[in-house]
Amino acid sequence: MAHLYNLRASARYRNQAAVFQPTRPSAIAIGERRRPDPRGRPGFLRVDTVHQGDWDGSKGVYHINAVDAVTQWQVVGCASKISEIHLLPVLKAVLEQFPFVVLGFHVDNGSEYVNHRVAQLLEKLHAEFTKSRACRSQDNALVEGKNGAVIRKLIGYGHIAGEHAEVIGKFYAQHLNPYLNFHRPCGFATVSLDERGKRRRPYKAEDYRTPLEKLQSLAGVEPYLKPGLSLAKLEREALAISDTQCARRMHAAKSRLLRQCKVRSPFPPPFR
Beta carbons of 97 and 66 less than 8 angstroms apart: no
Count of domains forming the chain: 1
In a domain, 4, yes or no: no
Q: What are the tens digits of pLDDT across the range 193-212?
A: 888 888 888 888 888 999 99
- CATH code for the domain of 191: 3.30.420.10
How many Å apart are CA 133 and CA 31, to the nearest integer? 11
pLDDT at residue number 217: 94
Q: What are the tens digits of pLDDT across the range 47-101?
A: 999 999 888 888 999 999 999 999 999 999 999 999 888 999 999 999 999 999 9
φ, ψ of residue 69 in degrees (nearest 5): -75, -25
Residue ranges making up the domain that contains 71: 40-261
In a domain, 34, yes or no: no
In a domain, 1, yes or no: no
How many Å apart are CA 120 and CA 213, to the nearest integer? 33
In a domain, 136, yes or no: yes
Among 107, 89, 103, 114, which Cα is nearest to 44's? 103
How many Å apart are CA 130 and CA 253, to the nearest integer? 36
In a domain, 198, yes or no: yes
Residue type, 82: I
In a domain, 30, yes or no: no
DSSP string, 93-134: HHHHTSSB---EEEE-S-TTTSSHHHHHHHHHHT-EEEEPPT
**Pairwise pLDDT comparison (272 vs 67), residue with the higher score:** 67
| pLDDT-wise least confident of 23-32, 178-187, 258-267 | 23-32
In a domain, 12, yes or no: no
Q: How many CA atoms lie within 13 A of 233 on its CB side?
A: 8
DSSP state of 158: S
In a domain, 24, yes or no: no
